[in-house]
Structures are given as structure tokens and as C-alpha cells.
Amino acid sequence: MELVVPIFYIMAIGALVSGVMVVVQKNPVISALFLITLMLCLACIYLLLSAEFIAVIQVIVYAGAIMVLFLFVIMLLNLEKESAPLVKGRFQKLAGLVLVLLLVGVLAMTVITTGKQGAAAQTTVDVDTAVSNTVSIGRLLFSRFLLPFEITSVILLIAIIGVILIGKKKI
Amino acid sequence: MIPVSHCLILAAILFSLGVLGVFVRRNVIVIFMCIEMMLNAVNLSFIAFARQNNILDGQVLVLFVMTVAAAEAAIGLAIILALFRKNKTLNVDEINLLKW
């Protein structure tokens, strides 16, 4: 049990390093590969947070399906030369950095204040340890979240139709 | 037990990295990947809170976010392909047809 916290920090550092590499790398293919390692690190963190089903879905859907789609499009576009990987002006770069630092400050303040309030709020217990994580999520999906679950299927259908329409030769 | 605030800090940093990528990078595919990174950061905070409060609603919500992200990635990449076929560029500074 003591191993959980060190593994979390290792995975967190891995996720941060690959996140930085996604932004810094000039080649989009290498960016995509680092995004895959980021998603695998996050899947490990989900496992440590006892969300086994989400971890598996993360590997299959995100690291598998979505990233294969990205790599496929990059391959299809055949990007030999990367034209202008970063924004041109110094001012734009600086403004982006300042805005992001502002965002970091706001988020840090929120995290600190939430941490103070959240320590007292550990009361509700909804998790049944007798059944597995997947069973509980399935039960929730087909009882409390039935309507959103059905709407997601409609969203996927609309996405399929839209992609076929957009992907046609002549628009 | 992993402290929830550390998970939130990690999620905040990943989200900010995604925002930085959207601001700084000009390749439309890399911008798209940074948006995926932001979605992942939000998922992490959902799961951290689900763990802290022992409620599974957060995990179900992550499932929905992933579905929407998959649909968004498919449609977005189709749009990028159509744009590239028409304009022969991936630089967002040159894709300014809708710009005022």
C-alpha cells in the first residue's frame, strides 16, 4: 500500500514531462507520440485512484482510437516541412505566457481554497465494495444516467454522419 | 491514499500546458492535441473528486466526456482534412476565412 504514493508521483512527473514535450516538439508526429505517453500515465493514475474501468477505457479509446486517428491524419497530410511551428511575434508569445501564468494563479488559488473546505466534506459513501467498479458504473449508467447515456449514442451517430458528409470529395 | 489536492495541482498544470499550446503553437493539429490534453486534465480532476467523495458520478461523467471527445476528434480531423485539401496549409494564421 505504501507503493501507491511513489508510483503516483512517478506517473505525475511522466505526465508533466510528456505534456511539456507535446507543446515544445516541432514535429507533430512526435507530439502525438508524447500525447500517447501522457494518456498512459494518466491511465496509471486512474488505476491508483481506484477507477479501473475508466483506466481501461482511457487506454482503449484515447490512447488507442483517438490517437490512431490523429496519427492517421498526420500521415495522410504528409507533412514534410513544418511551416511556422510557433506564433510569429514576440509580443504574441509573451502575451500567451502571461495569460497562462494568470490562469495558473487562479487555478492554484482555487485548489488551495478547495483543499481547505474539502477536508471536512468526506461523508457521503456511495461505493459498494462488494461489486467491482465496472458493475457499479454499469448500474449507474442504466439507472440514474439513462437519458444522458442514450443521448451519447445519438451524439456518436451524428458524428458519424457529419464525418462522412465532411469527408466527401466535393463539399 | 493520494491527497486530492496533488491530483488537482497536476490537473491544473496539465490544463495550463494545454492552454499554452493553444496560444503559442500555430499548427492546427497540434492545437487540436492540446485541446485533448485539456480534456484529459479535466477528467483527472473529476476522478480525483470521485475518489475523495466516494461517489461514482464523476467516473460516469468522465465516460461522457470521453464520448464527446471522440466525436469531436473525428469531426475536427475531418474538417482539418477538408481545409488542407482546399488551402494546402495547416497554419492557423493562414486559415482566416471566417476572420472579421
Strand partners of residue A86: B25
pLDDT greater than 60 at residue A85: no
The mean pLDDT of A156-164, rounded to a whole number, is 94
Number of CB atoms found within 10 A of residue A155's CB: 16
Tens-place pLDDT, residues A39-50: 999 999 999 998
Residue B100 is assigned to a structural domain of this protein: no
CA distances from A15 to A64, A73, A80, A88, B37 (A): 17, 24, 28, 28, 10
Taking the Cβ of residue A36 and every Cβ of chain B, the question of whether any pair is shorter than 8 Å is answered with: no
CATH number of the domain residue B31 falls in: 1.10.287.3510
Domain containing B48 equals 4-87
The residue ranges of chain B whose pLDDT is under 70 are 100
Which residues, including other chains, have CB under 8 Å from residue A30's CB and lie 6 or more apart? Answer: A21
Q: Do B27 and A82 touch (CB under 8 A)?
A: yes
Q: What is the pLDDT of residue A60?
A: 93
Residue B92 is assigned to a structural domain of this protein: no
Q: What is the pLDDT of residue B53?
A: 85
| Alpha carbon A115 to its chain's center | 23
CA distances from A77 to A4, A36, A81, B78 (A): 42, 20, 11, 12
Tens-place pLDDT, residues A19-29: 999 999 888 89
Of A19, A48, A160, the CB nearest to B37: A19
Continuous H helices in chain A: 4-24, 28-48, 52-57, 67-77, 90-118, 133-141, 146-167
Q: What is the pLDDT of residue A123?
A: 47
d(CA B74, CA A56): 21
Which residues, including other chains, have CB under 8 Å from residue A123's CB and lie 6 or more apart? Answer: none
A78 phi-psi bin (left φ>0, alpha ψ -120 to 50, beta other): left
Residue B96 is assigned to a structural domain of this protein: no
Domain count of chain B? 1
Q: Do A156 and B10 touch (CB under 8 A)?
A: no
Tens-place pLDDT, residues B49-73: 898 888 888 999 999 999 999 999 9
Residue B94 is assigned to a structural domain of this protein: no
Q: Are B44 and B14 in contact (CB under 8 A)?
A: yes
Q: What's the grid cell of residue A109?
A: 488559488
State the amino acid at position A65 in one-letter form. Answer: A
Q: What is the pLDDT of residue A17?
A: 95
Of A16, A85, A127, the CB nearest to B54: A127
Q: What is the pLDDT of residue B40?
A: 94
ipTM score of the complex?
0.91
Residue B9 is assigned to a structural domain of this protein: yes
Q: What is the pLDDT of residue B96?
A: 80
Q: Do B75 and A163 touch (CB under 8 A)?
A: yes
Residue B98 is assigned to a structural domain of this protein: no
Q: Which of A30, A34, A17 is nearest to A82 (CA)?
A: A30
Taking the Cβ of residue A109 and every Cβ of chain B, the question of whether any pair is shorter than 8 Å is answered with: no
Of A76, A100, A156, the CB nearest to B67: A156
State the amino acid at position A8 in one-letter form. Answer: F
d(CA B65, CA B41): 11
Q: What is the pLDDT of residue A27?
A: 87
Q: What is the pLDDT of residue A16?
A: 94
The mean pLDDT of A102-125, rounded to a whole number, is 71
Residue B81 is assigned to a structural domain of this protein: yes
Residue B97 is assigned to a structural domain of this protein: no
Instruction: Write b or e for each residue in A122-136: b if 16 or more Cβ atoms lie within 10 A of its Cβ, otherwise e.
Output: eeeeebeeeeebeeb
